[in-house]
Structure 1
Amino acid sequence: MKQRSILGRVAVPLLIYYGISLVITMFASAIVAGLKMPQYLNGQVEYAQMVTEMTNEILKYTTIITGVTAIVAIPIFWWMFHKDNRIRRQMGMAEPAKASPVKYVWIVILGVAACVALNNILTLSNLAMISSYEETGANFYKVNIVAQIICLGILTPIAEELAFRGLIFKRLREVMNMKRAILISALIFGIYHGNLVQAVYGGVLGALLSYAYEKYGSIKAPILAHMVLNLTSVILSEIGGFSWMFEQPMRMGIATVACAAISATMYVMIQRIGQGEADQTSSEQQ
C-alpha cells in the first residue's frame, strides 16, 4: 500500500506538468491552424504543405510554449509544495537545517562550471550530434535572447525544481534514503527530457540538484543552480562561447578540465555543508 501510494504521489506532478504542456501546445496549434487554414481552403497551399508549415511554426515557438507552461505550472506546484511541507510539520517531521546564504556562492560557481564541462563532454562524446538533440536545441534558440532568458533561464527552472525536487525528490525522500531518492528522481528527470542527450544531461544535473536540495535544506538552492546552468548555456550559445572553445582543441581541453575541476571542488564544498554543525552538536552532547 505504501509503495503504491508513493508511486501515485510521484506520478501526479509529472502528469500535471505533461497535461499543462499538452494543453498549451494544443492551444498554440489551434491558433496556428486558424491562421494557416484559410490558405488551404482557398487552394493556395496543399494539405501536406500546410501541415509542414504549421509544424515548423509551432516548433519555432517551443521556448515560448515552454515558458507559458511554466507560468501555469508554478502556482500549482508552489501550492502542492507548501501543502506537503505543512503536512510534514503536522506529522512532526523535523525540518532540514538551512545553509548559510554565503554558501550559495558555491551553487552559482558550480552551475557555471558544470554547464560548460557537461556541454563540452557531451559534444566530445558525439552524443550532441544526434539529430533529435540538434533539432530540439535549435528550436529552443529560435526566439530572441530576452525570451530565452525569461523562459529558459527563469521560469522553467522554477517550475521544474518545484516539480522534480520540491515534490518528486522530497516525496521519495520520505520513504527511502538519500542515495536512492537522488538516483530515482534523477532518472525520472532525465527521461522526462525526451532524447538521449538531454536524458544524460538531465540525469546528471538532476542528481546534482537533488543533492544540493538535500544539503542546503531549501528549494532555493536547486532553483538557483538550475537558473545559473540554463542562463550560462543560453548566454554562451548566444555569444558563441561554445563555438569559440571548440575552435582549438587545446582551448576546449583546458576549459573542460578546468570547469570539471571547479565543479568537483564546489561539490566537495557543498558536501561539507552541515558537517561542522553536526560535529559541534555531537561534541556538545558528549
Structure 2
Amino acid sequence: MNKAPGKNRFWYLFGPFLIYWGIEFVGAMIASLVMVIVSVPEVIQSVAWKDSMTNEEFMEAAAQMQTMLLDMAARYQVQMLAAAALLTIPVLALLYRRDRLQEQMQGLPVNKKAPAYQYIWTAILGAMVCIGGNVLIVMTNLAFVSESYQNTSAVFYAPAFAVQVVCLGLIIPVSEELLFRGLLFRRCRALMGFFPAALSISILFGFSHGNLVQFLYAMGLGMLLAYVCEKYGSLKAAILLHVTANLTSLIMTETGFLDWICGAFIRLAVTVVACAFFGAAMFVLIQRIDEKPEGTDRTDDSGNIPLTKDMFR
C-alpha cells in the first residue's frame, strides 16, 4: 500500500479535518460578528429604551436585545455556514492539489478518464438516492421522532430558495467533497484499502451532520460518493452526485413534491420502487466503468488498489 513516509500518521489522516474545522469555526465567528455589528442599530431601535431606567428594566431590555440577536443569528445560519465553508475551499483545494502532485512525483500510473457522458449516471443516481432516502425517512417515521432533525430542517429551509440553492446546493457540497472524499478518503485509501477507508470516512461524514436521521442518510450517501470517486477516478463525479442530491432535496421541498408523495401510501410505495429500480440501473452502469490504466495490473501484493490518478482533472 502507498504510505506516507516520514509523516505523523494521525496528522496525515486527520490534519485536513482539523484545518477544516478551525477555518469553519473562525469563519462562523467572523460572520456572526459582522451580523451582530450590522444588526445592532436595528435591534436597539426595536427595544423600548428610556432615558431613566431601573436596573430591572435595563436587564429586561438587554435580555430582549439578546433574544432578537439570537433570532437573527438563527435566521442567517445557512448564510453563515456557507460563508465559513467558502473560506475552506481554497485551502482544501491547495492541500488536494499538493497530494495529487506528490502522487505524480511518485510515478504512479493514471486511471483512464471516464467519458463525459457517463457523468449523467451519477446525477441520476444522486436524484434517486435523495428521493428514495427522503421517502424512507418519512415511511419509517424517523423524521418525526428526531427533534434535532426537525430543528435542522426548519433552519435550512428558512432562507429564500435562491439562497438555499447557492449555499446548501453548491458551496457546502463542494467544500465537503474536497474534505471528505478529496483528502480524507484518498489518504485513508492509500493506507488501508477502499472499503475500510470508505466506511471510516462515511461514518465521520455522518457524525458531522449532528443528528441520527442525517447520520444514517449521510453515512449511506458517503459510501456511494466514495464508490463513484473510485470508479470515475475523479472527484468531480462525487461533487456532481452530492450537488444533485442536495438540489433535488431543495426542489422537492420548495415545490411541495415531497409533501404530495407523502400524502398517500401508494405514492410512497411507488416512489420507493421506482427509485430503487432506476438507482440500481445507474449503479450497474457505473459498476461497468473500467477505471484501470491500459496494460497495467492495479492490484498490489496485499490485494489493494493503489491511488493512481489526478482525480480533479
The TM-score normalised by the length of structure 1 is 0.90
Structure number with greater Rg is 2
Equivalent residue, structure 2, for 1:267: 283
Aligned residues: 281
Q: Distance in 2 between matches of 1:92 and 1:281?
A: 14
**Is there any run of 5+ residues in structure 2 with no aligned partner, and where?**
50-57, 298-313
Letter in 2 for 1:164: F
Q: Distance in 1 between matches of 2:278 and 2:294?
A: 26
Candidates 118, 122, 127, aligned match of 2:137: 122
> By percentage of residues, which structure has more helix?
1
Equivalent residue, structure 1, for 2:79: 64
Q: For residues 7 and 126 of structure 1, do their structure 2 counterparts lie closer, same or farther at Cα, with a shift above 3 Å needed? A: farther
Q: Distance in 2 between matches of 1:68 and 1:86?
A: 28
Matched, 1:11 2:2: no
The 5 A counterparts of 1:203-242 are 203-242=219-258
The 5 A counterparts of 1:1-286 are 5-34=8-37, 35-36=39-40, 38=44, 42=49, 43=58, 45-129=60-144, 130-274=146-290
Q: Distance in 2 between matches of 1:27 and 1:78?
A: 22
Q: Distance in 1 between matches of 2:36 and 2:83?
A: 19
Q: Distance in 2 between matches of 1:6 and 1:273?
A: 33
The root-mean-square deviation of aligned C-alpha atoms, in Å, is: 2.5
SS at match of 1:51: helix
SS at match of 1:274: coil
Q: Contact 1:121 / 1:256 at 8 angstroms: preserved in 2?
A: yes
The answer to which of 90-99 and 257-266 deviates more is 90-99
The TM-score normalised by the length of structure 2 is 0.83
What is the deviation of 1:17? 2.1
Q: Contact 2:111 / 2:233 at 8 angstroms: preserved in 1?
A: yes
Q: Contact 2:12 / 2:187 at 8 angstroms: preserved in 1?
A: yes
The answer to which of 147-156 and 220-229 deviates more is 147-156
Q: Contact 2:31 / 2:83 at 8 angstroms: preserved in 1?
A: no
Identity of aligned residues (%): 36
Q: Distance in 1 between matches of 2:172 and 2:25?
A: 16
Letter in 1 for 2:129: A
Q: Contact 2:23 / 2:84 at 8 angstroms: preserved in 1?
A: yes
Q: Distance in 2 between matches of 1:281 and 1:89?
A: 17
